[in-house]
A = this chain, B = another copy of it.
Amino acid sequence: MEIIAGGVTAAKGFLAAAAEAGIKYQNRKDMALVYSDTPCRAAGVFTSNVVKAAPVLWDQRVVKNSWEAQAVVINSGIANACTGKLGDEYCWETARETADALNIEADSVLIASTGVIGMQLPIAKLTAGVRSLAKLLAGGEEAGTQAAQAIMTTDTRSKQAAVRVTIGGREVTVGGMCKGSGMIHPNMCTMLAFVTTDVNISRELLQEALSEDVKDTFNMISVDGDTSTNDTLLVLANGQAQNPEITEKNVDYEIFVQALHYVNEELAKKIAGDGEGATALFEAHVIHADTKEHAKTLAKSVITSSLTKAAIFGHDANWGRILCALGYAGVNFDPNRIELYLESEAGKILIFRDGMAADYSEEEATRILSCSEVTALVDMKMGEAEATAWGCDLSYDYVKINADYRS
């Protein structure tokens, strides 16, 4: 597996564009288009929130009913959620405009929106944006990077990942981009994430690979415990790698799943590490749990604890809060048996053992916690299952950003 530069334009046949449509932000690109020059098989996972944004409902229909998808049009600034019938109509208008501009069918156009809930989209600006985007489509790294920048909201940096593998003697590429920052606690999916690949795979296996992989990647991150109304993860596969079509779970499938997993995990970690106001990526790695489900529950409980997140922000080895978060996760265990370590590129120390503090140096703990990526390693000593979850610290800036996000 070769890690390469780029994102949604890394795989063969994929083009992208970004444009300044003036939807809500001033003086920045706020629309992106991803397009494959041949039709794609599409798979998606979407928010489990009962309150689903109009584009989420639109995409669910397209992924389920359309045999082929070929374009994804994305806007940042306004979420098109809680917008009633008008919100649905705007999705239809956006798809029709995109289809006209690209000479494809409206039901092969996927749509994603992110931003303020409850505001109506300025639809004239949006359709004008679509027409600009269609003319700007281009391949190559720069086009992908511009698209990744255009979908950002409170993100401080754009997020891309790509990887290359060999399947059936052919070079297969998987690349993607995403945006996150706030309202990040995906359930059955993620924020906005778009993965493109030239692999040749059946629609059923593409969906299955995606649905399985999100359980260990996008569903294992959290910034603030809030599951968005707009979470969308889409994969488009155009088959241009010309590998023998993957139609069963053979070695080719496994290689593709590994490549997809790499891209998904990288994108998910980038979202967690760039959570609103975050100064550090905070990872919880639970090992030797009795079941995988318990390992996941424990890991997520640690990275979602507000008190633990505030302590990470303060570089304070307040391990009692980690123990506390493990304790209320809803998993039974003996606190006297488990071990807790803190780890980063600055080192690794044992913090807790035999039901009480281990003999560690506070200075060393603070040094470890002062890195930009920090891991709490929890050894449950119960079995062989493990899981990792990713979050971030809780800072003043999280409050600042969210106390007046609308204004």
By a beta-carbon cutoff of 8 Å, the part of chain A in contact with chain B is: 47-52, 79, 81-87, 116-118, 182-183, 185, 187, 224-229, 304-307, 310-311, 313-314, 316, 318-321, 323-329, 331-333, 335-336, 352, 354-357, 394-396, 398-407
Contact = CB atoms under 8 A, between A and B. Distances in A.
A399 B395 contact: yes
Nearest to A402: B310
Contacts of A395: 399
A267 to B, nearest CB: 21
A269 to B, nearest CB: 21
Nearest to A308: B226
A87 B172 CA distance: 59
Contacts of A335: 50-51, 82
Given A229-B324, A306-B225, A324-B183, A336 B84 contact: yes
The 6 closest A-B pairs by CB, nearest first: A117-B320, A314-B403, A51-B327, A310-B402, A227-B328, A84-B356
Given A48-B328, A118-B356, 6 more contacts: A50-B329, A50-B331, A87-B356, A226-B328, A227-B328, A310-B398
Given A118-B356, A307-B226, A327-B51, A399 B394 contact: yes
Contacts of A327: 49-52, 227, 229
B116 A324 contact: no
Contacts of A316: 403-407
A152 to B, nearest CB: 18
B82 A352 contact: yes
A87 B357 CA distance: 12
Contact of A324 (B87, B227, B400, B404): B227
A265 to B, nearest CB: 23
11 contacts: A51-B327, A82-B357, A117-B321, A117-B324, A118-B356, A225-B305, A226-B305, A226-B325, A306-B402, A311-B403, A316-B407
A117 B307 contact: no
A55 to B, nearest CB: 15
B182 A324 contact: no
A302 to B, nearest CB: 11
Given A395-B399, A404-B316, A49 B328 contact: yes
A84 B354 contact: yes
A331 B400 CA distance: 30
Nearest to A329: B50
A208 B197 CA distance: 61
Contacts of A304: 225
Given A49-B328, A324-B49, A335-B50, A355 B84 contact: yes
Contacts of A336: 84
Given A49-B328, A354-B84, A79 B405 contact: no
A399 B276 CA distance: 14
A396 B402 contact: no
Contacts of A84: 336, 354-356
A81 B311 CA distance: 18
A83 B356 contact: yes
A354 to B, nearest CB: 6
